[in-house]
Structures are given as structure tokens and as C-alpha cells.
Structure 1
């Protein structure tokens, strides 16, 4: 038995116009399994980067109830159902935090945070968002594409069920996880150049999500004069890129230092992200500087800089370099 669907039906499953056109052209499908197979091939092999971003943009922000007046009412209805548990388990406070992180995510990556929200609580979604926020853009693009595929497959199941509930299908849940990742890997090497060119990225083909859960270099400030965290202190991280080995005579050469990241300490005295979350940190000389003069206006030190070396044998290790500060003294150590 052949089941025919139009472009509008497939647009409800995935907001990419190219995807809907290709699915409509590939049909009619004799089974759900056939439609799922075609959808994976089309999404990963025929839809370009513009189509991916178009599909991402069709989703409401996680934590927001989609309007029934949206262009595709079926898609809006499904989005509302997919987020039902997240909305039911969210407090006003957690919704506000989710909204803020969604905004920061979109500012960083240029597209809405995307996850297959079905069955997930607001706390689970927020935790996933925070974890993924530190990813490189190309890694996050891959993850978002996989999440879109999961959503598309779930919606194709709903589409077939709604059209003819008597049609048997051999699978009750669409494949996810490793199968989707494998599908993406098959074409990733061929497409990475085009994706990188579109987003002004490097053509780094290492797409694996880092095993670390935090950046390789971190710091915090403790104001030992009052026994409290040093809050609101500006922090910067630099790497020595000057010629030759770093020594006492050339350590203050401004031209030799390259800024890697900057942040401000939070209510716990911890800095924000100074580096991406990567498995390997390049060996070399690093410098963390703290704007202590702005924090302790009556103190003796206008700023504090800590220079340390990461050796070639240490590139997989974590380096926590805190600052213990008082108006007339400071110290540091390598922590964990």
C-alpha cells in the first residue's frame, strides 16, 4: 500500500524546504521504514548547510510554548507536545535561566539550541545546554544536525500514524544514537569543507566531542583577607607566541603574548571559560593575569600575572591555577 504525502506534511517534520521537496519527490512510500531511510539519506547527503540552518530556525526556543498561529500548525502542535514534560517540570526561575542560556547559545553559535526534547525535564535540557555551550561551532553543528534527525524521525512516525493508524510498521521507535552518528560520519569528511567555508571555519576534520567536561586551564580567586571568594575580578589568559624560548628578559614583551580568552570571576570566585573544552591543550608558556587593582583599590598590586609552562608530556592534563589574594600579598599553586 502506497502512502502519499505533500511538501507541507514533510515541512511539519523538518523545516528545511529542500528536505520537504526531496521527500515529496522520493515518495510515495510503501512503509514507514522506507520513509525513515529516505529521510536520513536526504538530510545527511542532499540538504546543504543553508537547509540545516533553515530547519533549526523553524523550531521554537526550548522552554517557550510555540504559537498555534505559526506557519505550520502541525509543527507547532508537535513542538508543544515534545516540550510538554519540560514545561510541566519547570519553575518560573528555571524557565528564566533556560531563556538566558538559550539567548547566550544563539549569540555564540548563530542558531537556536536544538535537542530532541521528548521525555526530557527542564533540568535535563538545561544541563545539556550548559554542557554543549563550550563546544566548538563545527562540533555543535554536528550535534544539532543529529538532534534534528531524531526529531524528524519521531514526527514521521506521528505523520504515518495520523494518516493511517491501521498501517503496520516494523519499528515502534525510530533509530537514534550510534546509527545516526554513523550516517553523519559517512558524509562528514566530504561536506566539512563546504560547511567550513560557509561558516568561516577551519577545515578541522576532528569532529569528536571532547572527553573533558571543562576547559583544560581554569582558575579561581580567594580573598584571604576576608575569607571569601574574589568576585568580579577581570581575568585574561594568554599564550607565548614569541620567537624562541620564554625567559626572564623577554617575558614582558607584549608582542610575544597572544590573548586566548578573558572573563570575570563569579560569586564563587571562579572565572568563566578562558579556553574551549578540548582534549589536548598545546604545550608552551601561558600567562593568567588578574585586574587586582580594580578589585582592591587600596591594595599594593595593580595587577597580578602568573606565568606557567605546560610541557609536551602534559597536554592531556588539567591545569587549575588559583590566586590567593590579600591587599599586600598573593600566592598561587597548581591545583586540581
Structure 2
């Protein structure tokens, strides 16, 4: 299905995103469009493009203000924003709206951009709780979270774009009317009708941020392994007996993101995983010749996504589980 830049701009307010996505269209399915959108957003749109997309959203709890712009993209985006915030506005009281307004102002003063969350299906109280939870974050972490939330919103809007413009084929087949609803359910954590929704990216991903420079860590070699030793898991304090099995490797790009480290599968194998970064080559004067992050994926989590980033400086590092 073919769309232009104006339509993609309504899905995500970054002109770079709309331009790059239009270049690789048309798409044969929603899943193909989402996969391409994720690649463009995380690998081809720079920091300025992220901020441009953030600024296209109205403040949570406020209806989009009228604009003199004749842009159809702005009009469509405003209409979608209103629908996405409908649950929040319907559940709000004057006191909760006032509190949300005050916290929005505090958030913007601290981080420099609007608080961004995929609001579809969320009440005012739920959004306010999430805002308060994210407010203590370091700016570099919060910026990443906001980018992930923007991508959730973009996926939801791509589904709306496909469902509203789908045409009946000569065989009578039609793009399922439930596509938009399924995307919305996924974005707010509801169970999809399918027990194994098709992924658009590998189940394990990572990126590197150089906090000493305030920029992505580019050109860093990354390896992903899974434990296949004689014991169920590597034993603490015991020498590594070669039980790690190699899954894949990549080099971080200019945005600090690794390429594909494993196949795109619906269910990831439960087990102990290790992501290793060649930090010594990246920062020869630093304290760490390499950094390894070991984590476990349980049977109950095999359908989930695991984003395991590295926040690096010459003499410290940290990590967290992202989305």
C-alpha cells in the first residue's frame, strides 16, 4: 500500500522520519510498514528529528489547540491525539487535571521537552503515576524512554492509516478492520487475540550511550551469547568452562544502536544470556577492557522484548531493562 510523506508525517511529527519512510514505501502489510518505521526512527532519525516529533504532541491532558496551518498532516495528527487522550480526559477531574498540568510543567522544565506517553486507553491517574515515576530519571535515560513511547504512538497511528485507507481487493479481501484496535491493545498492554503476535524486531536489542560525552557510543563491537553449559546456569565464583554459545554480533551505528544480534522469532528461548561490549577498543584509556551484562529470560517471558542498553563512561557503567 502506497502513502506519501504528508501521511507519514501525521503518524510521527519528524520530517526526516516521513521522508525516509516514504522512500522505502510502498508496503505490502502493516507489519512490513512497522518494521521499516522502527528502522527509520532508531537508525536514521537524529536527535533533532526526535525532538521535532516530540514537539508535535499536545501536552497530555490538554486537547490539541487549533492551528492556522492548512497541513493535512497537522489536522490528522491533532484528530488522532484527541482520540488517544479521550480516556484520560473522560476520567479526569478538575483537581487531577490541575495536578497533571503542574507535573507536566515540572517535567518540561527538567527535560526540555513535553512528557510523552502512549496515552491510548490510559486514565488520568495512570498517566500521572507514570509521569511521577519517570520524573526522577536522568535526562539521557528519559530521552530514550520518550523515543520508545513515540514509536508506540507511531505504530498505533500506522495501523489507523492502513485501516482507514485499505481498499477491497478484487477477491473481496480487505485489510482487517481490527488492525488499529490490535495495535492499540498492544500499546496499552492488553492481550492480543493472537497468542503469538508477529515481532517486528529481534527479542533482544541493545544500544550504547557514552555519558561522559553526552552522545551515542558508535563503532563498538557487541556479542550476544546464551548459556549452554553442563549446569542449568553459570555458577557464581566458578571459572567459565566454555559453556557460552555464540548467537550473533554487530557494531553499533552512529546512534549507538547495534544491528541484529539474533533472528526475529515470536518466542525467545528461556535461559541465561550475555551481552558483551568491546569497550577497551572504544575507550583505550578507560578502566574496562570489556563489559559483559548477564541476564535471565524466564519461560513466562518468552513473548516479551528485552532491550538491554549500556550507559558507559571511562570509569563506570550501568544498565537497565528497557522496552
- TM > 0.5: yes
Could you report, residue by residue, the CA deviation over 1:240-296 in whole angstroms, capped at 9, with x for unpaired residues?
xxxxxxxxxxxxxxxxxxxxxxxxxxxxxxxxxxxxxxxxxxxxxxxxxxxxxxxxx
User: In structure 2, what is the equivalent of residue 34 of structure 1?
Assistant: 32
User: In structure 2, what is the equivalent of residue 49 of structure 1?
Assistant: 47
State the alpha-carbon separation in 1 of the partners of residues 200 and 53 from structure 2.
17
Unaligned runs of 5+ in 1: 206-336
Q: CA RMSD in A?
A: 2.8
Structure 1 residues 127 and 64, CA gap change in structure 2 (3 angstroms):
same
User: In structure 2, what is the equivalent of residue 168 of structure 1?
Assistant: 175
* TM-score (norm: length of structure 1): 0.53
| 1:1-336 alignment runs, 5 A limit | 3-69=1-67, 71=69, 72-164=74-166, 166=168, 167-168=174-175, 173-174=182-183, 185-186=205-206, 188-189=207-208, 192-193=209-210, 197=213, 200=214
Structure 1 residues 32 and 129, CA gap change in structure 2 (3 angstroms):
same
Could you report, residue by residue, the CA deviation over 1:148-200 in whole angstroms, capped at 9, with x for unpaired residues?
010000000000111116443696634668x78968943x22xx24x875xx4
List 4+ stretches of structure 1 deviating above 3 A. 169-172, 174-177, 179-186, 200-203
Structure 1 residues 38 and 4, CA gap change in structure 2 (3 angstroms):
same
Secondary structure of the 2:104 match is: helix
Structure 1, 126-135 or 24-33: larger mean CA deviation: 24-33
Secondary structure of the 1:173 match is: helix
Larger Cα Rg: Structure 1 or Structure 2? 1
Could you report, residue by residue, the CA deviation over 1:294-317 in whole angstroms, capped at 9, with x for unpaired residues?
xxxxxxxxxxxxxxxxxxxxxxxx
Unaligned runs of 5+ in 2: 169-173, 190-198, 221-323
User: In structure 2, what is the equivalent of residue 317 of structure 1?
Assistant: none
State the alpha-carbon separation in 2 of the partners of residues 30 and 201 from structure 1.
36
State the alpha-carbon separation in 1 of the partners of residues 136 and 118 from structure 2.
19
State the alpha-carbon separation in 1 of the partners of residues 93 and 33 from structure 2.
39
Q: CA contact under 8 A between 2:84 and 2:120: conserved in structure 1? A: yes
Secondary structure of the 1:62 match is: coil
Structure 1 residues 196 and 10, CA gap change in structure 2 (3 angstroms):
farther
* TM-score (norm: length of structure 2): 0.55
